[in-house]
Amino acid sequence: MATVECRDIRKVYGALEVMRDFNLKVDDHEFVVFLGPSGCGKSTMLRMIAGLEEITGGDLLIGGQRMNDRDPGDRGIAMVFQNYALYPHMSVRENITFGLERSGVPKAEIESRLAPVVESLGLGVYLSRKPTELSGGQQQRVAIARAMIKTPEVFLFDEPLSNLDAKLRGSLRVEIARLHRSLKTTSIYVTHDQLEAMTLADRIVLMKDGRIEQMGTPEEIYQTPATLFAAGFIGTPN
Ligand code: ADP
Ligand code: MG
């Protein structure tokens, strides 16, 4: 069961408080989008869930277990970044399988896990290429494949489409939605793009200045924005 629970999470960098009163429970199989303007703390919150950033205060639970001090590799999560973060000197195949090899997964099992992942993302013909020989959209597919092959219970996405042109953004968005449904994972997806949030989210967490401004289904936030900020950012002014 892959719920993600944030209880009163707080984050400071030195004297700067960038996150406070962050309370959220993401349900099993839910697709939650953190939406808000640049600098509001979306990446910081996601990185704390991933274990890439220390949590200053509060509790983080994944599947009901406290994760605050758990290593990123032991959280049952996989993350996809805006800049793909592929290893340039490795082939596509090596980029996808490297993590499993390092964890000592047997070769035969790696091969059997690789096949369906490659198939579902249409990467078969690119396996021996280097990332620099791929388009941005193809590189992001490789990054998604690398995340998928870990069979995570929770998928974290940090602006995965922001570096892509509009057409690719649309098609990859559809693929991410399809993967979320077919893999039955829990997904948390960060974006500053209202359209992405509206089309992907079961629930939107609208953020402003390091806290939650409003939470609800896309319809709820669009139809009944609670504040002027929410109305301006996503909804219809009422
Ligand atoms: P977003 O992803 O919504 O654009 P971030 O989470 O990247 O926002 O940043 C939130 C705030 O935290 C910003 O004010 C940013 O400058 C600050 N911040 C992020 N990372 C650091 C860091 N390593 N040190 C100091 N301040 C940081
Ligand atoms: Mg960010």
Give pLDDT tens digits for 23-54.
999 999 999 999 999 999 999 999 999 999 99
Rg (the chain; Cα; Å): 18
What spacing in Å lies between the alpha carbon of 96 and ligand 1's midpoint? 29
Atom 5 of ligand 1: nearest residue by CA position: 41
pLDDT at 238 over 80: no
pLDDT of residue 234: 84
- Do 216 and 203 touch, CB atoms closer than 8 A? yes
How does pLDDT run across 71-80, given as a tens digit for each residue?
999 999 999 9
Atom 16 of ligand 1: nearest residue by CA position: 39
Q: Convert the chain into a string of H (helix), E (strand) and C (coil).
A: CCCEEEEEEEEEECCEEEEEEEEEEECCCCEEEEECCCCCCHHHHHHHHHCCCCCCEEEEEECCEECCCCCHHHCCEEEECCCCCCCCCCCHHHHHHHHHHHCCCCHHHHHHHHHHHHHHHCCHHHCCCCHHHCCHHHHHHHHHHHHHCCCCCEEEEECCCCCCCHHHHHHHHHHHHHHHHHHCCEEEEEECCHHHHHHHCCEEEEEECCEEEEEECHHHHHHCCCCHHHHHHCCCCC
What spacing in Å lies between the alpha carbon of 77 and ligand 1's midpoint? 22
**Tokens 């009944």 sit on residue:** 224
DSSP bridge partners of 33? 189, 204
Q: Is 38 in the pocket of ligand 1 (CB under 6 A)?
A: yes
Q: Tell me the residues surrounding ligand 2 (ion) with CB < 5 Å.
A: 43
Q: Is 194 in the pocket of ligand 1 (CB under 6 A)?
A: no
Which candidate, 122, 166, 163, places its Cα nearest to that of 141? 122
Q: What's this model's pTM, rounded to 2 decimal places? A: 0.95
What spacing in Å lies between the alpha carbon of 188 and ligand 1's midpoint? 18
Atom 7 of ligand 1: nearest residue by CA position: 43
pLDDT of residue 1: 74
Which candidate, 33, 34, 26, places its Cα nearest to that of 3? 26
Average pLDDT, rounded, for the chain: 95
Q: Is 51 in the pocket of ligand 1 (CB under 6 A)?
A: no
Q: Which two tokens stand for residue 112?
A: 């059997």
